[in-house]
Structure formats: structure tokens, C-alpha cells
Amino acid sequence: MEKDLGNYRKSYEKSALMEDAISDNPMELFQKWFYEVEASNTVDETNSMTIATIGLDGYPKSRVVLLKRYTYEGFIFYTNYESEKGKAIEANPKVCLSFFWHSMERQVIIKGTAEKISENLSDGYFESRPDGSKLGAIVSNQSEVIASRDVLEDGVKALEAKYKGKEIPRPDYWGGYLVRPISIEFWQGRPNRLHDRIRFALQEDFDWKIERLAP
């Protein structure tokens, strides 16, 4: 089986990223881009991103998760702390997040370290979720092998009965991570493969060094 994709080619012409249009803090540029992507109404889940971890088997692995909050401190997402990614982060908290906003010809790549957020914050977010999502989080031993789908469906039914009319508590194996960035690279597609790449790198004095990279 073979398919040649050599002719897949696109010219990126939508925008530019120039030094005179950026502030000293990359989170402000992230916010600007995020708002612009949202306002464009061309991306289904602006907040979907991949997170790559180095696994216990030594291989990198990336998968999509949803960004649920960002601040000057960094990026927060929620997951199962005992999942494959949770175990990977436990052993090596250095991770890479990336966003690809295809319709805007933009990519953002964030290197940083992941840490668990406070239980209070995780509780707050868990409480805001619909009951079905809460039960789903409880019932899923994320990343474990299961015998069949029935394990999940039956598990949820049992939990529905257990928590009928009661508050559903956040399991302690589920919560948020904050990824504190040490480097954020913004990539804007440009014609003739002369793309704009601006990288912010955190310095020891907590200032951000801003550099342009060759595409």
C-alpha cells in the first residue's frame, strides 16, 4: 500500500507576526491569538491542544486535551492523575503543549513543567461539570485495559443509583495540572515557506527573551 502526498501543498497568506506587534509577555500574545481564533468562528474547539509527555517506556506520547484556564502563571487542563500521562508527569513533569489553529495558519508550542493544582481548584471545576461527566470521570480508570464497553456502561449505572439525589464527589485520582511555561513559540504561516516564528524563553530573572527563529 502506498500513497504519495508530495503534491499536498498550501500557501499560507492570512497573517503575519512581527516584533513591533508583540508585548513583553507571551501570555498576552497567547490571549490575543486565542481571542482572534475564537472570533474567527472557524475552529471547533479553540481550546483543544496536544500534550506530549515522556512516558515510563522512554517514548514521547502526545494526545489531545482541553485547555480549561490560562493565566500569567500558565495553562490548566484536567485529567486522571493515574492515567498514562499522569504517571508520565509524575516521573518527568517536563511536558510540551501545542495548539494548531489550521484555519488561522497558526501554531503555538509551549514547553514547561506540569504540577497538580490545588484540591480546591480541582473541586471547583469538578463541581461545575454535568453529572454525566462527573460519573464518567469516576468510572474510567483512564488508560487501563478493560474487558468491554459494558464495564463503563454498567459502572455508570451503578454509580447513578449510588449517587441518586446526592452530590457526586470528585475522586482524588482526578484533577487539574498547571503547566508553567519556560518557552512559548508562536508560528504564523507565511508565503513561500518564509513563516514567522517568534520564541519567548524564560530567563533566570523571570524576564522573557524574545527571538525570531528561521522557519
Ligand X SMILES: Cc1cc2nc3c(=O)[nH]c(=O)nc-3n(C[C@H](O)[C@H](O)[C@H](O)COP(=O)(O)O)c2cc1C
Q: Measure the CA–CA gap between 99 and 50, rounded to whole angstroms.
A: 7
Residue from 84, 105, 185, 196 in contact with ligand X (CB under 6 A): 84
Classify 179 as helix, strand or coil: strand
Residue 153 C-beta: closest distance to ligand X, Å: 18
126-155: which residues touch ligand X (CB under 6 A)? 142-143
Per the annotation, the verdict on 170 as an active-site residue is no
Radius of gyration over every alpha carbon of the chain, rounded to an integer in angstroms = 20
Q: Whose Cβ is closer to ligand X: residue 64's or residue 145's?
A: 64
Is residue 209 involved in binding ligand X (CB under 6 A)? no
Residue 81 C-beta: closest distance to ligand X, Å: 10
Is residue 156 involved in binding ligand X (CB under 6 A)? no
Q: Measure the CA–CA gap between 95 and 177, rounded to whole angstroms.
A: 11
- Burial (CB < 10 A; 0-12, 13-18, 19+), residue 174, is buried
Is residue 85 involved in binding ligand X (CB under 6 A)? yes
Q: Measure the CA–CA gap between 131 and 112, rounded to whole angstroms.
A: 32
Is residue 56 involved in binding ligand X (CB under 6 A)? no
Residue 185: all three cell numbers together = 513559540
Q: For binding to ligand X (CB under 6 A), which residues are involved? A: 45, 48, 61, 63-66, 77-80, 83-85, 142-143
Name the residues annotated as catalytic. Answer: 193
